[in-house]
Chain A
């Protein structure tokens, strides 16, 4: 299906986990390279054409967070963190540092593959037609040029803030956006960390696009971290 095979770098020190991840990647028809250390990973990133990185935070030589920071200095490749650390603060910190997604161990390989697919699609969307102004996700679409939102072909009226929020999600389909990041993007840096306004705004938007706001199809809440626009 793919014209060129994406190459994925798997950075994980546990051999067993590395093995089954690689097996699954192969099944999916993807190329991969592996590294058990942060140093090795950075070396590969410099010398090879890598499209996506799976990163374990608990590496023997460096902390994974430092790897994210270092990579983000010169590269925008998608990074999916796979970690046994399950505290929200750590997840949010990794996402805010520049990781694109976060998976807690143990995880289902199906889940991992889904996240990888989302990241690759996002990558293609960015690399492909930049001029693409209409984006849609299972029935919900946005026209970034005309500032219009459609649900199953019929137009939906949104307030300017709701539109801004939805556009932010469409620019980051499938990616978890932390509450702090969203607030910064919508209200600006000076607004602080009060989440109540965002919760209210989100509730208003959901009432327009979701059948049941408590069982959302499009914008999923990741409690303690943020939100994600579901891709599929």
Chain B
């Protein structure tokens, strides 16, 4: 700072000397005119020329004003009688003095105005050109780091310094290293010392830039978040004039636009890809489900037909029954696999609506009863109409899976029950499915909600309904923001599965 001030004062001395020289020169010319007998008006004109040249050559109109006053006094001193004094005999000279001063003042002001606007026009032109060049180059960039590199190069050229840039990744976190221009042709990557503090400082920024020890950092604001930081070396940043800072802002703005545009197109591309994949997956699932269901329908229908043709005490009848049961089992496996694929691989989109628990339970029980008419399922729901936000189809699936398990592990006529009640303190709906079946062994209890877990205690060729069914329940309930747990009943044999659904809509996906 002090160095600059010294430079400035030296400059002032030089400018003052220049002005003095010009006025002295015009005085000498004036002498020559008087000597040759030219009229005094010419001498006044010469002084006016000196004032004009002063304001032309020297910046700022202070010198112009000063020159006009000095010129008037000089004319008075050297060329009006009595000579070499500031007194005047002829009062008409006062008019000359006043007019001369006013003319000189106006001339100098106009001149410096013209100079000033020429200068700012030039600055504007340079700024426009720099930003235009940058924008031009940025359009060619193929990725975010190329944009960063281009921008750093332009900044370094424009401000004649080793500018740097630190990009933020798509999560809005700074990258581990930043790009710096070290020579006009070469860029290097340097490690960021303390990312966390830096990020914290940039986030909490109240002014336009952050003052660090090596760099001043200007954040690049994108449409949604901060895209990176432009780093200008401290000394250079301190020496920046108002118009340079304006230029810097324009260039940062262009960089931000380019980065935003790039990210937006990237995002669009990704979305399109995802949509295509989603469509493929949908088609695949649909065709698999169609291709598996159709032959299974054939097998099941045909065996049913054959069973119909056979007397029930015929040994062939039980063989057919076995085929039918196996096909049925295969069918439920296929359904479960399809369901699980839909739930886990695709983003599970819940179609949540306010549903009455009685309808969902009623529908599930109705379906199960068709499959297992020998089992009696008791149902209890609150007397008061009870609405719960849920995807009814999926919760029905959960209930069907749970009841299906109960039926498989419970003899006919033994108790199977479904109940639901509202729990005020957790603000949730609590569903309980109970049976008096074989129960679950303690070793297995923690794993039953895992995918493809089948009972280890039984020999591998025993078909067990556990496995996918409960994993599906788990996925669905978690997607609703609820909980599910299984336990053995304490007072009697059998299993008790409890799941909850929150009563508040939203805040989970």
Contacts and interface: CB of A to CB of B under 8 A. Distances in A.
B359 A202 contact: yes
A105 B292 CA distance: 10
Contact of B363 (A23, A27, A195, A221): A221
A203 B356 contact: yes
B379 A106 contact: no
Interface string B346-361: 0000000111111111
Contact of A20 (B296, B302, B354, B370): B302
Interface residues of B, number: 41
A142 B297 CA distance: 39
> Interface of chain B, helix or strand or loop or mixed?
helix
B359 A199 contact: yes
A105 B290 CA distance: 9
A223 B359 contact: yes
Interface stretch (A30-38, A69-77, A84-92, A115-123): A84-92
Interface stretch (B106-114, B215-223, B385-393): B385-393
A204 B385 CA distance: 8
A24 interface: yes
A106 B300 contact: yes
Given A108-B304, A213-B362, A214-B361, A224 B298 contact: no
A106 B297 contact: yes
Contact of B305 (A14, A23, A195, A221): A23
Contacts of B296: 105-106
A58 B353 contact: no
Given A203-B358, A221-B359, A195 B301 contact: no
A15 to B, nearest CB: 8
A199 B356 contact: yes
Nearest to A225: B393
B290 A58 contact: yes
A148 interface: no
A131 interface: no
A203 B353 CA distance: 16
Nearest to B327: A106
A85 B286 contact: yes
Given A106-B301, A212-B379, A203 B385 contact: yes
B478 to A, nearest CB: 20
A86 B360 CA distance: 18
Contacts of B363: 220-223
A128 B385 CA distance: 40
Nearest to A14: B294
Given A221-B363, A223-B360, A223-B396, A17 B290 contact: no
A201 to B, nearest CB: 10
A109 B301 contact: yes
B399 to A, nearest CB: 10
A16 B327 CA distance: 15
B243 interface: no
Contacts of A48: none
B304 A215 contact: no
Contacts of A196: 353-354, 387
A14 B300 CA distance: 14
A96 to B, nearest CB: 17
Interface of A: 14, 16-17, 19-21, 23-24, 27, 58, 84-86, 88, 104-111, 195-196, 199-200, 202-204, 206, 212-216, 220-224
Given A58-B290, A195-B354, A215-B365, 12 more contacts: A16-B302, A19-B305, A23-B308, A84-B289, A105-B293, A108-B300, A110-B304, A111-B370, A199-B387, A202-B359, A214-B361, A214-B381
